[in-house]
């Protein structure tokens, strides 16, 4: 019996197929453009990294779909989110490689690309949907649904992702199950609300008693203070929070919002380290995709100016608007509005600190 053939590096990575998959349209059309090779390889690299992001994200979604999520699951999720973040940094840096191609170089083969466009990347749409970008919050792609430009088999997968569990919904569910909001003898939300009211009263007195204020400055500062009071009152009230959800101004439930705030404020407690890192990494991912879209928009403006994109979008204008609107975890970032300094935090009773820490008794 012939000995099995040893695994070869090239065969394992299928390099023959991979390195033969750069099919230059300019060459096919008899107008070979040198920089089209770079354009293809950069975008193929994007799609490979998107595949890895989906691989990591799907594993995190599986962990959060469990009925019980333990500490090790959160730590594992944080590690995989860190990997996604490092990939995102690569995606942003790849734009610098693409920008070694000038606008005139791009024009040499741009006409051969119509009507293909990066907007047709089904993998990126899957990433957005699995993170939790709601279909009703998407910018319109011209007058069409964003799925209309996808191939039939890709469209099915993207539609499925709209109707399956997302990171946003699973995170909300997990936060709502946070067991630390109410203990025997300690109600975090009531304590926090009392501290906020006291701090706001102190702030009002400081404004009124400042002898250096002119009448106009006093009125302006008091007006800003009143706006802050209204914002805190709306934040503290479940009823007002739910009204904002009905208006589409918020998505995260009030219970989940309270849990996230507790995690941020008491992040120094050992058992809250991993939950804090999880929330922070999700905000990082949101921020990096925003940076990537903005960086992409700047590059597009440099390459095509005010022209329509190859897929029919408004190019730079669309990408800039998407960078601002297509955020998923902005409500977590907005919680910093309601942070208070550590010295003002409601003090945790000793028995609760023990539950939030790692205490071993002989």
Condensed to tens digits (0 to 9), the pLDDT of residues 170-180 reads 999 999 988 76
pLDDT at 1 over 90: no
What's this model's pTM, rounded to 2 decimal places?
0.89
What is the pLDDT, as a whole number, of residue 118? 84
Checking phi first, is residue 346 left (phi over 0); if not, alpha (psi -120 to 50) or beta?
beta
Share of the chain above pLDDT 70, in %: 93
Least confident of 45-59, 133-147, 276-290: 133-147
State percent of the chain over pLDDT 90: 64
Q: Which of 15-24, 114-123, 132-141, 197-206 has the highest mean pLDDT?
A: 15-24
Burial bucket for residue 41 (CB in 10 Å: 0-12, 13-18, 19+): middle
pLDDT of 313 over the 70 cut = no
Helices 71-98/273-304 angle, 10° precision: 20
Of 41-50, 111-120, 336-345, least confident by mean pLDDT is 111-120
Listed as own residue / partner, the contacts of 313-322 with beta carbons closer than 8 Å and 24 or more positions apart are 313/117, 313/119, 313/141, 313/142, 318/139, 318/141, 319/293, 319/294, 320/293, 320/294, 321/139, 322/139, 322/293
Confidence check: pLDDT of 96 > 80: yes
**DSSP state at residue 146:** G
Map out the domains of the chain with their CATH numbers.
11-166+270-325 (1.20.58.480), 181-265+329-362 (no CATH)
* C-alpha span between 293 and 124 (Å, rounded): 12
Encoding tokens for residue 54? 């989906």
CA distance 199 to 219: 20
Within 209-315, residue ranges assigned H as helices are: 215-236, 238-246, 254-265, 273-304
Say what the pLDDT of residue 234 is: 84
Distance CA 78, CA 163 (A): 25
Q: Does residue 117 or residue 141 have the better pLDDT?
A: 117
Q: No. of H helices and E strands in the chain?
A: 17, 2
> How confident is the model over 54-75, as a mean pLDDT?
94
Q: Lowest-pLDDT range, 163-167, 261-265, 342-346?
A: 342-346
Residue 349 has pLDDT above 90, yes or no: no
């Amino acid at each position: 019996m012939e000995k099995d053939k040893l695994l070869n590096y090239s065969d394992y990575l299928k390099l023959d197929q991979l390195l033969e998959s750069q099919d230059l349209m300019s060459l096919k059309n008899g107008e070979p453009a040198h920089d089209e090779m770079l354009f293809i390889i950069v975008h193929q690299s994007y799609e490979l990294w998107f595949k890895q992001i989906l691989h990591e994200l799907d594993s995190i979604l599986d962990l959060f779909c469990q009925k019980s999520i333990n500490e090790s699951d959160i730590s594992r999720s944080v590690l995989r989110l860190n990997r996604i973040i490092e990939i995102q940094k690569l995606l942003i840096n790849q734009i610098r490689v693409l920008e070694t191609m000038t606008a005139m170089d791009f024009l040499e083969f741009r006409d051969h690309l119509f009507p293909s466009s990066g907007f047709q990347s089904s993998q990126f749409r899957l990433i957005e949907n699995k993170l939790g970008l709601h279909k009703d919050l998407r910018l319109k792609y011209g007058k069409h649904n964003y799925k209309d430009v996808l191939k039939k088999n890709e469209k099915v997968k993207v539609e499925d992702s709209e109707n399956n569990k997302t990171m946003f919904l699973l995170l909300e569910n997990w936060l709502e199950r946070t067991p630390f909001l109410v203990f025997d003898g300690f109600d975090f939300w009531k304590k926090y609300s009392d501290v906020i009211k006291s701090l706001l009263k102190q702030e009002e007195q400081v404004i009124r008693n400042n002898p250096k204020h002119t009448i106009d400055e006093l009125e302006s500062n008091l007006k800003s203070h009143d706006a802050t009071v209204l914002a805190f009152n709306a934040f503290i009230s479940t009823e007002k929070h739910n009204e904002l959800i009905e208006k589409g101004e918020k998505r995260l439930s009030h219970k989940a919002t309270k849990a996230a705030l507790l995690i941020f404020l008491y992040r120094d407690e050992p058992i809250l380290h991993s939950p804090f890192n999880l929330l922070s990494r999700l905000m990082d991912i949101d921020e990096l995709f925003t940076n990537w879209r903005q960086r992409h928009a700047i590059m597009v403006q440099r390459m095509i100016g005010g022209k329509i994109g190859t897929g029919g979008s408004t190019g730079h204008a669309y990408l800039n608007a998407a960078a601002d609107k297509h955020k998923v975890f902005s409500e977590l970032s907005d919680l910093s509005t309601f942070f208070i300094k550590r010295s003002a935090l409601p003090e945790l009773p000793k028995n609760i600190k023990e539950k939030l820490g790692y205490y071993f008794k002989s």
